[in-house]
Chains A and B, each alone.
Chain A
């Protein structure tokens, strides 16, 4: 099956600071790029997406940046809270028909009190 990034790096952030989680993707033809959050023992939860013709999109406390030149996606979380502790996955719809969601590498976000 398709999957990218099978070992999870960890990002440790002080509570209240901003977090930046990065992801590299390979398929330039993807129509959408997406971020999901997975808390321990739960299924992933949608956070935000961005269409390939955009370079920035903001949500509540989150911002996603897309750099197509270097095939890089990032998720910025403002004023990180303990509830933000989770594994964050980037994902993409790899084809213009956007039929399936392929998950990329995950990053574990740990919050220091």
Chain B
């Protein structure tokens, strides 16, 4: 498809386990963003990539969170030693270039830590 694709769509994991969330942006989009959305709340900025570089990691909540992007395409968000407070929907978005206000979002990955 032509949109942003995220996988898995749902993930249930045990507390303490590591999880990896994947985002495939729209082809040709150089900017990629990760957000976290807790139930019934707003979008919390985590990190953004311009190409394969992450100029702004200021939103990552702790050192348990990391993200990378390769080939100016797919990105993975890794959460180590998951905690119950990590339960949320993780949304990925891409835009044509840095500074473009129209970001296209994926459907998100719903993470539940039990």
Contacts and interface: CB of A to CB of B under 8 A. Distances in A.
A24 to B, nearest CB: 14
Q: Give the most central of B4, B45, B59: most A CB within 10 Å.
A: B45
Contacts, number: 82
Interface residues of A, number: 29
A92 to B, nearest CB: 9
A89 B42 contact: yes
A interface: dominant SS: loop
B43 A44 contact: yes
A77 interface: no
Contacts of B104: 46
A61 interface: no
B99 A97 contact: yes
Contacts of A93: 99, 101
Interface residues of B, number: 31
Nearest to B38: A6
Nearest to B65: A1
A67 interface: no
Interface string A69-106: 00000000000000000000100010001111111111
B105 A44 contact: yes
A93 B102 CA distance: 11
B42 A43 contact: no
Contact of A46 (B35, B58, B61, B102): B102
Given A42-B105, A99-B48, 6 more contacts: A1-B45, A3-B45, A43-B91, A46-B103, A99-B56, A103-B44
Interface of B: 4, 33, 35-36, 40-46, 48, 50, 55-56, 58-61, 91, 93, 98-99, 101-108
Closest 4 CB pairs between A and B?
A43-B105, A1-B59, A98-B99, A1-B44
